[in-house]
Amino acid sequence: MLDIKLIRTDPDRVRENLRKKFQERKLPLVDAVIELDRQSREARTKADALRNRRNSLSREIGVAMAQGRKEDAERDKSLVSKIAQELADLEILEEKLAGQVKEKMMLIPNIIDPSVPIGKDDRENVEVERFGEPKTPTFEIPYHIDIMETFNGIDLDSARKTSGNGFYYLCGDVARLHSAALSYARDFMIDRGFTYCVPPFMIRGNVVSGVMSFTEMENMMYKIEGEDLYLIGTSEHSMIGKFIDTILDEETLPQAWTSYSPCFRKEVGAHGIEERGVYRIHQFEKQEMIVVCEPEESPRWFVKLYQNTVDFFRSLDIPVRTLECCSGDLADLKVKSIDVEAWSPRQRKYFEVGSCSNLGDAQARRLGIRVRNKGEKNYFAHTLNNTVTAPPRMLIAFLENNLQEDGSVAIPTSLRPYMGGQESLTRR
């Protein structure tokens, strides 16, 4: 959510940002917010004037009663009663207008960073850098489910019976590989100075609306029937929510956390849930990283966060590239975003395995996350998040890039301690 002062003082900048994001349909919101804000401030000014008048009359009533001027006192009491009713009506109007302003403000996207490339959708995202040499072996690489099945590592048929499409049973060595990747990711981030956390897997509606846009919420979140609770789509949601309505001392910043959680997503409006595959699914697990910092520090942390993911995948012998998200591909709360994509030897292309985002003060403004500024006015923190790894999608890249011609899968040195010393997965 933007600062209302920006819309008051520089509405043209807000309109231009909407055009850059190809959201011209939202242009009328700017004028609507300006008008509602004007009415709200006008109502507040009238209410303040009435309160001052009421206080003045109350003092006059006291003086009149003390002097025995009962007729004057009664007249002033009648005026106070009338003012009280006017004031009550204005307070209701103030609350209504404030709600309308907030409702429309929540639909206006964040101001994107000047460095963000302008484009309509993900087809216009821009490659930034490649890490590792993408190789395609001379032998045929099977579909990732077929690779898993050679190790008796996945059961989709049973999952469809119990839960439907978009779910899976991971078994044996593949299940162990899944857990090993998460454990390695946890320790990888702890070694880089992040504090480990396992957060709540359900959050309240006010936290949901604080961390994402209404469209994202509708397309992603599962709601618990009869309760004000939602299943998280990523641990970023509850980790940022951890700081709701807090004032942080400057010396406690940055707050750098790495968190594990299962994730639940409806995937409404996505490309569809695969019949045979684990690329786009309703349930998965993820190691995440989030940072709460001072505004001037967020650009530096942004680079540091996505580099962590690059380094993690390279330690597993997986080539990756970074891809800058264009303006039309940015979610409304984001200032800037870079995807990390892993190389798929089978498809001979890269695919997304992580997304790093700088949200500026948008989440902090919605959730009330402030920084205490000694001697001056408190200010909103900046928040960032990024994926360390999200198996089983990460397993697709791992299996394809480490598959050997004999059908075995090599286990990189970094992961072997989490696999009981195994050097490879072998067919059964």
| pLDDT tens-digit readout, 367-423 | 999 999 887 899 999 999 999 999 989 999 999 999 999 999 999 999 999 999 999
Give dist(CA 305, CA 63) in Å, integer.
Answer: 67
DSSP 3-state assignment of 34?
helix
Give the mean pLDDT of 309-319.
97
Question: Does the domain spanning 122-425 belong to CATH 3.30.930.10?
Answer: yes
Report residue 397 as tokens: 């890249």
Nearest Cα residue to 267 out of 284, 291, 245? 284
Q: What local confidence, expressed as pLDDT, does residue 51 receive?
A: 87
| pLDDT tens-digit readout, 335-346 | 999 999 999 999
DSSP 3-state assignment of 373?
coil
Percent above pLDDT 70 for the chain: 98
ω before 254 within 30° of 0 (cis)?
yes
Q: What local confidence, expressed as pLDDT, does residue 58 receive?
A: 84
Which sign, positive or negative, has the C-alpha torsion 160, 161, 164, 166?
negative
Give dist(CA 54, CA 376) in Å, integer.
Answer: 33
What does CATH list as the number for 4-105? 1.10.287.40
Nearest Cα residue to 111 out of 333, 295, 324, 370? 333
Which residue is listed with tokens 């060595």?
173
Intervals of CATH 3.30.930.10 along the chain: 122-425
Give dist(CA 3, CA 420) in Å, integer.
Answer: 53
Give dist(CA 7, CA 18) in Å, integer.
Answer: 12
Q: What local confidence, expressed as pLDDT, does residue 55 receive?
A: 85
Q: What local confidence, expressed as pLDDT, does residue 41 receive?
A: 92
Give the mean pLDDT of 99-115.
95
Intervals of CATH 1.10.287.40 along the chain: 4-105
Q: Give the mean pLDDT of the chain.
A: 93
Give dist(CA 16, CA 20) in Å, integer.
Answer: 6
Count H helices and E strands in the chain, helices first. 13, 18
Give the mean pLDDT of 36-49.
92
